[in-house]
A and B are shown apart, each in its own frame.
Chain A
């Protein structure tokens, strides 16, 4: 591919054809429709082959460690009035959270009350404080079918009771239920639930439908969202920044990924694409600059010829942008302590500044004027690479 000869640089990157069928799409429509749950037997058999798990098992056996099944908590129906709350074990109750739960309350989504035992016959709660308070409020106000509001404390509700009356244990159990040793859900896990909700269960929830549309846009441009643990993460055709996918409108996301495919397909999708192409699209649109036709196509070719000539690819553009920002910010804003880049249009501003210096004639967005303060322009701080030499020799 080459640009119009009036622009000094004509070597434009070109996306490669890649075999996308090699990428295992965790949210593939066909796979999700036919997905069958794994049995515990299958899961355990798979895990015991894992070297980390196998080592942990060997260690337990070497230490002759065994576990007592009678110490596991048991589920029983208990009168809700037996639940007690200790501030050290549970947080202070948050009324707003109570109101939110009541507003969206679905019976099937309520958790059992997690509790310990105590000598006075009550059950100190170590998790589900807000849930149990909601249950109590609904019971007292006659909102549970078949429950007498005058005897609301006798309403029987599932409790998971651990027979341990040591208050220190309740505190430790609360810590475990609320974070200690738990693996937090990642942005991909939330995305997966929403997309699967639509593809497997035909959910109509607005938020889920939106997520599925974003997934479809990604798949259309062969940018398959994968979690951090995916064995193919980083390979061309995968996308590992699902959080960034939610920062842009559907049309902007479509432009971002289509542009990446046209110019860079075959190279890992760097997170730089989102700020670079996202602001380009949104800000061109805001200024009513046409984004179709030969003039825009030529501009995009010239834009990419700059990236290839000066930075080779988007990953290097991002790194050089981060370095230049720190160098520029230290001089432009010497009284501010943090010089780290925290805006997303900086790479775009740098490429547009170079375009302007090369006498490019296409209308530009206002980003070209950013990162210029007190006569210090970020362009002058691109000193780690050969940009100035290349621009001067163009």
Chain B
């Protein structure tokens, strides 16, 4: 019996550090094919570097959205401002570490978002050469509960 069960409408939450300048960012998507999303959205030819998602979370889409909103609200004073708008990247001057961000995310998930799971270590960092084949048929293979 599979341990992890999820509804049909799911999405990804990702954390990435740009390989060419070290800026830490995050985001969400309901697009199932996360590989395509990474390639189209974050691989910039001008950066001349491969890009990966360093950490990935998968789960019920409304909880993924709520997680992203919470980060934007609670950490808003640490976000980068471009063209007068706050963006989903941390201001490098804030020196936010991966651990600080992951601790913040996972503490929140444990308390409020039981249907968000993290992608197992062996599948990270996620590069365009990775594929989550038939993810929903074997969620336990790829995902683990946040403790």
The residue in B62, B76, B111, B113 that gathers the most chain A C-beta atoms within 10 A of its C-beta is B62
Determine which of A13, A236, A312, A385 lies in contact with B74 in the assembled complex, contact meaning CB atoms within 8 Å.
A236
Name the interface residues of A279-316: CB closer than 8 Å to any CB of B: 310-313, 315-316
Q: Which residues of B contact A234 (CB under 8 A)?
A: 72-74, 76
* In contact, A13 and B62 (Cβ under 8 angstroms): no
Give the interface size class of chain B. Answer: 10 to 19
Overall SS of chain A's interface:
loop
A233: which B residues are within 8 A, CB to CB?
Answer: 76
Cβ A385 vs Cβ B9 within 8 A:
yes
Q: Which residues of A contact B51 (CB under 8 A)?
A: none
CB of B39 within 8 A of chain A?
Answer: no
Q: Does A103 contact B (CB under 8 A)?
A: no
Question: A386 in the interface, Cβ–Cβ < 8 Å?
Answer: yes
Whether, in the assembled complex, A82 has its beta carbon less than 8 Å from a beta carbon of chain B, the answer is: no
Known A312-B60, A312-B66, A315-B69: A13·B76 in contact at CB below 8 Å: no
Q: Are A386 and B70 in contact (CB under 8 A)?
A: no
Number of cross-chain contacts by CB at 8 Å: 47
Q: Check A389 against B8 for contact (C-beta < 8 Å).
A: yes
How far apart are B87's CB and chain A's nearest CB, in angstroms?
A: 15
Q: Which residue of A lies closest to B86 (CB)?
A: A234
Instruction: Give every chain A residue within 8 A of B77 (Cβ-Cβ).
Output: 231-232
Q: How far is the CA of A231 from the CA of B78 in the complex (A)?
A: 10
- Any A CB within 8 A of the CB of B2: no
Q: Judge whether A267 is part of the interface by a CB distance below 8 angstroms.
A: yes
Q: Is A16 an interface residue (CB 8 A)?
A: yes
Residues of B within 8 A of A232 (CB): 77
How long is the Cα–Cα vector from A233 to B111 in the complex, in angstroms?
23
Find out whether the CB atom of B7 lies under 8 angstroms from the CB atom of A389: yes
Q: A312-B60, A385-B62 are in contact. Are A268 and B111 (CB under 8 A)?
A: no
User: Could you give, for residues 351-394 of chain A, a 1 whenever the CB lies within 8 Å of some chain B CB and a 0 otherwise?
Assistant: 00000000000000000000000000000000001100110000
A315 to B72, CA, bound (A): 13
Nearest A residue to B111 by beta-carbon distance? A16
The interface residues of chain A lying within 8 Å CB-to-CB of B111 are 16
User: A390's closest neighbor in chain B, by CB?
Assistant: B7
For chain B, what secondary structure do more than half of its interface residues adopt (helix, strand, loop), or is it mixed?
Answer: helix
The answer to the question of A141 belonging to the interface, with a C-beta cut-off of 8 Å to chain B, is no
Contacting pair A316 B9 (CB below 8 A): no
> Smallest CB–CB gap between B58 and chain A, Å?
15
Q: Mark B37-67, 1 if CB is under 8 A from A, else 0.
A: 0000000000000000000000010110110
Q: Quick check: A315 and B66 within 8 Å, CB to CB? A: yes
B76-A312 in contact (CB<8A): no
Interfacial chain B residues near A389, Cβ < 8 Å: 7-8
Sorting the interface of chain A by its residue count into under 10, 10 to 19, 20 to 34 or 35 or more gives 20 to 34
A-chain residues with CB within 8 Å of residue B69 when the two chains form the complex: 268, 313, 315
Q: B112 near A: Cβ within 8 Å?
A: yes
Cα distance A312–B65 in the bound complex, in angstroms: 9
Asked if A316 meets B73 with Cβ closer than 8 Å, knowing A13-B112, A386-B7, A389-B7, the reply is: no
Given A235-B73, A235-B74, do A312 and B113 touch, yes or no (CB 8 Å)?
yes
Taking CB atoms and an 8 Å cut-off, the chain B residues in 86-128 that contact chain A are 111-114
| Contact status A235-B66, CB under 8 Å | no
Closest residue of chain A to B114 (Cβ to Cβ) is A11
Chain A residues 229 to 264 lying within 8 A of chain B, measured CB to CB, are 231-236
- With A13-B112, A386-B7, A389-B8 in contact, is A316–B62 under 8 Å at CB? yes
Question: Which residues of chain A from 1 to 48 have any CB-CB distance to chain B below 8 Å in the complex?
Answer: 11, 13, 16
Is the beta-carbon distance between B63 and A312 smaller than 8 angstroms? yes
Question: Are the CB atoms of A268 and B70 closer together than 8 Å?
Answer: yes
Residues of B within 8 A of A236 (CB): 73-74
Q: Which of chain B's residues have a CB closer than 8 A to the CB of A386?
A: 7-9, 60
Name the residue on B nearest A320 (C-beta).
Answer: B62
Chain B residues lying within 8 Å of A312, measured Cβ to Cβ, are: 60, 62-63, 65-66, 113
Residues of chain B within 8 A (CB-CB) of A313 are: 62, 66, 69
CB distance from A387 to the nearest CB of B (A): 10
Closest to B6 in A: A386
Within the complex, the shortest CB–CB distance from B126 to chain A, in Å, comes to: 25
A279 to B57, CA, bound (A): 37
Q: Which residues of A contact B72 (CB under 8 A)?
A: 234
Among A312, A313, A389, A390, chain B packs the most CB atoms within 10 A around the CB of A312
Q: In the assembly, what is the distance between CA of A233 and CA of B86, in Å?
A: 13
8 A-B interface contacts by CB (under 8 A): A233-B76, A234-B72, A234-B76, A313-B66, A315-B66, A385-B62, A386-B8, A390-B7
8 nearest CB pairs, A to B:
A234-B73, A312-B62, A268-B73, A386-B7, A312-B66, A313-B66, A316-B62, A312-B63
